[in-house]
Amino acid sequence: MILIVHGGAGSKKPSGRNLRTLSVALSAGFDVLKGGGSALDAVEVAIVVMEDSGLFNAGLGGHLQFDGVKRLDAAVMEGKHLRAGSVIGLEGKKHPVRAARLVMDTPHVMFTDRGARMVASVLEPLPDISGKEIRKLSAIKRRHVEILKLYEEHFSTVGAVALDRYGDLAAGASTGGVAAMLPGRVGDTPVIGAGVYADNASGAVSCTGNGEAILRLSLAKEICMNLKTKSLSRASRHSLKRLLRIGGRAGVIVINRQGRFSIAHSTPYMASGYMNDKTSEVRPSFHR
Amino acid sequence: MILIVHGGAGSKKPSGRNLRTLSVALSAGFDVLKGGGSALDAVEVAIVVMEDSGLFNAGLGGHLQFDGVKRLDAAVMEGKHLRAGSVIGLEGKKHPVRAARLVMDTPHVMFTDRGARMVASVLEPLPDISGKEIRKLSAIKRRHVEILKLYEEHFSTVGAVALDRYGDLAAGASTGGVAAMLPGRVGDTPVIGAGVYADNASGAVSCTGNGEAILRLSLAKEICMNLKTKSLSRASRHSLKRLLRIGGRAGVIVINRQGRFSIAHSTPYMASGYMNDKTSEVRPSFHR
């Protein structure tokens, strides 16, 4: 049994508070595994802690889009039956990862706003946008004359991957996208195969970084497939190099079916950590 | 130089009219290749012909969603620089594939309705929904007490893949989704890695079929990656078998970088055809 979480990859050193929240997320998720819960449940619980904290670009802390609305993305996938669920641009809900899980439990896989809202109607609402958030959006808009610059910001998407006692893998991710981004823009997070992928036959992967570049590589699926022929760290580093070649930087957390794992990033920092039966570690930067 | 097109895979035999339209699409697209145009241009032109015809579930002929609105999806990708563009749930435009191409020419990759509408503002509008289309929607709703049944219908998404004289590959797809589907549902077509993928290092793939199952496999990316180690037809058939195991049927058109191709489907029929310098063929069913 193992659980890995991350709180985004980027150029700024993660704060102590953010790292402590990752520890809390790890404990909460690993308790699920210890109690006989599934990898999918552990991934969901760990991500909910990060969405709740308001410290990451996900859930409560999700960035506002250009028009001042908070539209959130999330995805989950489990590796036994390859079931997956995702929501794109979900408004007014605090836990998009729970909405993604609800979608997974329908015959569908992906929903944009309308369908996502319907599926998520039972979930806890987001509080109103605060004055602080609106001032932050204005500051970002003023700072970046060119909208392109927005995409070079810190990526503080959150993600988790887990292996449970039954040998099943799962992956999940949740994000508020890019601060002040154009409404309707879709990054990698809610896209099965790009931001997340899980297959018991190979591994579980959750990615964060330049969403557009990750989409163009189908990064999570690529790493999963390469796990069949390459070692864990080689598979991760190989795809991160390919991503650099098309101009993208990212961080990835990967577990294979034996429970071995890799945390790798082409950004200076990636807040991340893991917990298994023996040990637990959380760091601002990880290369393993 | 080669161009392959398809007009959907399913259980009903394609009509002569539909097959003739595929021939027209092939000629129009291949003219682009002969004139020195790119594989991407050829794919776009071929798909525009099918969107224009009103005979396929794409563009003018796109299905209405459950609420009577026509929301269309499309994607394109080119294999040289791995640039890609896609629109999800685009309303009021006749040529979603052109919108996808416009997205590709921005720094973005995927847009849902709001962003897609903005990018596509210059494109030709769709005519108003006809009385016939509204009656058809009502009939479908009456026929299917269980909404799940809707997803077992004929898949008449359109797609194309091409190799140009410069050795560059491209793939594209366009669809109206599933008739009477829930607003916001996303299938494989607009998802890079699921419905389409292109990489000069391996191949170009366009898929059609059970959207949810195709998403869960990241089918187009999977076939592309398998082209590195498997023959064309083995790569296609291998992934179609894996898809069947999770309950999905599909059809795929695939070209590798040598210009060899495969057309394969796990449905009884798939309207498709190819054109190269020497020959051209269009058939209601193809296994090659």
Question: CB of B47 within 8 A of CB of B71?
Answer: no
Distance of alpha carbon B236 from the chain centroid: 16
Contact partners, residue A210, CB within 8 Å, separation at least 6:
A151, A155, A243, A247, A248, A249, A250
Q: How far apart are CA A282 and CA A273, in angstroms?
A: 4
Tell me how close the Cα of B28 comes to any Cα of chain A, in angstroms: 28
* Between residues B134 and A172, the one the model is more confident about: A172
pLDDT tens digits for A198-236?
999 999 999 999 999 999 999 999 999 999 999 999 999
Choice among B21, B157, B189, B208 that is catalytic: B157
Is the ipTM higher than 0.85? The answer is: yes
> Under an 8 A CB cutoff, do B222 and A217 touch?
no
Residue B189 annotated in active site: no
Q: Where are the alpha helices (DSSP H) in A171-255?
A: 211-217, 219-226, 232-245
pLDDT tens by residue, B79-125: 999 999 999 999 999 999 999 999 999 999 999 988 999 999 999 99
Task: Report the C-alpha gap between B208 and B204 in whole angstroms.
Answer: 14
Give the amino acid at A5: V
Number of CB pairs, chain A paired with chain B, less than 8 A apart: 130
Residue B108 touches chain A, beta carbons under 8 Å: yes
The per-residue pLDDT for range B218-261, each reduced to its tens digit, is 999 999 999 999 999 999 999 999 999 999 999 999 999 999 99
Answer whether A197's CB lies under 8 Å from A220's CB: yes
Q: Is residue A147 domain-resident?
A: yes
- Which among A131, A82, A283 has a CA at the least distance from the CA of B222? A82
Token code pair at residue B61: 């002929």
Of the candidate ranges A142-151, B23-32, B47-56, the one whose mean pLDDT is the lowest? A142-151
Res. A136 pLDDT band, cuts 50 70 90: confident
Among chain B residues, the shortest Cα distance to A111 is held by B185
Pair of tokens at residue B129: 């929904």
CATH label of the domain that carries residue A140: 3.60.20.30
Q: A109 Cβ partners below 8 Å, 6+ apart?
A: A84, A85, A86, A103, A192, B186, B211, B212, B215, B216
Residue A144 has pLDDT above 90, yes or no: no
Residues of chain A neighbouring B197 (CB-CB closer than 8 A): 218
Task: Kindly report the backbone phi and psi dihedral angles of residue B91, in degrees, each rounded to the nearest multiple of 5, phi listed first.
Answer: -100, 145
Residue type, B60: L
Return the pLDDT at A199. 98
Contacts of A148 in chain B (CB under 8 A): 107
B180, B69 Cβ separation under 8 angstroms: no
Distance CA A96, CA A115 (A): 13
At A186, which helix (H) or strand (E)? strand A185-186
Q: Which one, of A249, A236, A181, lies nearest residue A4 by Cα?
A: A236
CA torsion, ordered A110, A113, A119, A124, to nearest 10 deg: 120
CA–CA separation, A113 and A87 (whole Å)? 7
What pairs with residue A256 in β-bridges? A203
Q: Could you tell me the pTM of the whole model?
A: 0.95
CA-based torsion, A113, A116, A118, A123: positive or negative: negative
Contact between chains at A83 and B216 (C-beta distance less than 8 A): yes
Instruction: Judge whether B288 lies within some domain.
Output: no
CA A246 to chain centre: 21
Using one digit for the tens of pLDDT, what is the confidence trace for B10-45? 988 999 999 999 999 999 999 999 999 999 999 999
Whether A288 maps to a domain, the answer reads no
Contact call for B185 and A89, based on CB within 8 A: no
Q: Do A212 and B107 touch (CB under 8 A)?
A: yes
- Report chain B residues whose CB lies below 8 A from the CB of A80: none
Does the beta carbon of B270 lie under 8 angstroms from any beta carbon of chain A? Answer: no
Number of compact structural domains in chain B: 1
Neighbours of B161 (CB within 10 A): 35
Q: How far apart are CA B230 and CA B235, in angstroms?
A: 5
- Tell me, yes or no, whether A201 lies in a domain: yes
The 3 state secondary structure assigned to B215-276 is HHHCHHHHHHHHCCCCCHHHHHHHHHHHHHHCCCCEEEEEEECCCCEEEEECCCEEEEEEEE
Please give the Cα distance from A200 to A256 (Å, whole number). 8
Structure tokens that stand for B271 in this block: 């309207």
- CA B190 to centroid of chain Cα atoms: 9
Query: What is the pLDDT at residue B27?
Result: 98
CB pair distance less than 8 Å for B185 and A108 = yes
Q: Which domain holds residue B189?
A: 2-283
Considering only CA atoms, which of B60, B21, B64, B8 is closest in space to residue B177? B64
Q: B211–A109: do the CB atoms touch at under 8 Å? A: yes
Is residue A71 within 8 A of residue A37, CB to CB? The reply is no
Say if A207 is an interface residue toward chain B (CB within 8 Å). Answer: no
Q: What percentage of chain B carries pLDDT values higher than 70?
A: 96
For residue A215, list chain B residues with Cβ-Cβ distance below 8 A. 84, 109-110, 192-193
Question: From the centroid of its chain, how far is CA B131?
Answer: 27
- Given a cut of 90, whether residue B144 has pLDDT beyond it is no
